[in-house]
Amino acid sequence: MLDRRNLLRAGGVLAASAATGAAAAKSASAAIRATGSAPDWAGLRAALTGDVVLPGDAAYESAKQLAIGEFDALLPQGVVYAETAQDVQKAVRFAADNGVRPRVRSGGHNFLGWSSSEDGFILDVRRLNHVTGGGSPTVHVGPGTWSIEATNALKAHNQQLVTGTCHDVAVGGFLSGGGLGFQSRGFGIGSDRVVSARVVLADGRLVTASDISNPDLFWALRGGGGGNFGVVVDFEVRPIEAPRMVFYEQVWDWADAEKFLTAWQQWYVNTPRRSNGQVIVIQPDAGSGNPPIVLQQGAYYGTRDQADTGLAELAALVGAKPATSRVLDLPFSDGMQYVYGLAEGGSHPRTQWQRMRARLVSKPLGSSGTAAALKAFEADPRAGQTRYLSFMGLGGAVGDLAPGATAFVHRSALFHIGYGVALASAKPAAEDSGAAVDWATKGFTVIDPLSDGESYINFPDKYLGGWQHAYYGSNHDRLKALKRAYDPCRLFDFPRAIGN
């Protein structure tokens, strides 16, 4: 949700179609077979437009890296860089023919490193990063496109996409998991704006998924989680006709944290949809003795006067004023530079180790729940832990569709609330990592009973029980059936893939 760059920055700022798919898949690929011989990497390398990087190659160490340093320890059998849809098809067929599973990587930001493994290879789609059709009612975006690349490409057309808060998160994983972003309350989640997708299936076929073509697959791709049903090589998306953005950022005194956060939740659910934002309680070093930072960030898609009025109403509810405040009326794309943490430069350190435990919540925590959440944040201070407690505001357009309209089931959620902790070492001592997980778990036990028991698949939790219901709710059974239909041999698999 919030990468280490932004943490440090904040610290510094103060059925029928499914049956058809199953038949075709089974006829084209009966099973992933163990060949008894080494995969023909040389043959794949010769067949691709893109590249194949293998252990021993000079580029291997960097090629296998994900966004989080912890997963540098993983040694995939290879890294395949696809540059075309045909490259993806060849790589998928190679995987089935040689008995080696692909892990799809678009941006590599998965918290648990699911886009790599040692019993398979990375199928990297980062080079499929096209943005075309700007100025049209729909645009085409490649799965490897970063948020910042889409923002910049569509700026000249006064259009934008719903994106997350990190500039280098790629479209592929973001949209496949649903796509909660800084614009979701006003414009819906990212996947709700997807019109169609071109997908390479487990049998190597390239198909279109839309309301009229493979509609069950189309349903599953919008919230069913990346890497489950195939490899998307192109998304057709309805862009936002980009308004101006009033970006605001306020720091509140820790002494006012409880009354501010209680008031903010109540204020937020009653503000117009054009108001979108989050609150992050941050402690860059939990053992420093310094008070946590309470940071409110928001984007108001209206006039500066309207934004000022709303912020004044919030201050009145709190009964206090922020320690610092800035409000900037900007073109949408310029405002997103602030959301991404890029507007003012600075270093972009790589996250080394991170865990998050979070829930989706359908009502404010209230004063007692908020007090308990903040008490848990302060508990067991330990040097070297970068801690955050995040409240991402949802509601609004997120709830315009029914829970079963797409695979994204969490339509009643008003907030995503989570405890995150980062450590500076990719290989922390067991005592340090254990203490970090214990702290996050204690916080989780506070918000869990105040939630509906749901969590967001794009922020996976290694320690979450009952994850099938938490991530997919009443949609899980349908997703399992579609997994069997479109990937009967489970070519696409990882620890919490559909059906595990």
| Three-state SS letters, 35-81 | CCCCCCHHHHHHHCCCEEECCCCCCHHHHCCCCCHHHHHCCCCCEEE
Q: According to the model, what pLDDT value does residue 36 have?
A: 59
Inter-axis angle of helices 332-339 and 147-155, to 10 degrees?
A: 160
In angstroms, the CA 249 to CA 244 distance is 16
Q: According to the model, what pLDDT value does residue 31 have?
A: 43
In angstroms, the CA 125 to CA 88 distance is 8
Q: According to the model, what pLDDT value does residue 346 have?
A: 72
3-state helix, strand, coil in the chain (%, to 5): 35, 20, 45
pTM over 0.85, yes/no: yes
In angstroms, the CA 336 to CA 49 distance is 34
Work out the burial of residue 211: count CB atoms within 10 Å of its CB; fewer than 13 is exposed, 13-18 middle, 19 or more buried. Answer: exposed
- Judge contact between 129 and 146, C-beta under 8 A: yes
Tokens linked to 289? 């003795």
In angstroms, the CA 500 to CA 497 distance is 6
Which domains can be identified in the chain, with CATH numbers? 244-470 (3.40.462.20)
8-state DSSP, 203 = T
Question: Mean pLDDT, consecutive 10-residue segments, the chain of 500 residues?
Answer: 46 41 40 66 98 98 98 98 99 97 97 96 99 98 98 96 94 98 94 99 99 99 98 98 92 98 98 96 97 97 96 98 98 94 85 98 98 99 98 98 99 98 98 99 98 98 98 98 98 95
Identify which of 267, 272, 283 has the alpha carbon closest to the alpha carbon of residue 317: 267
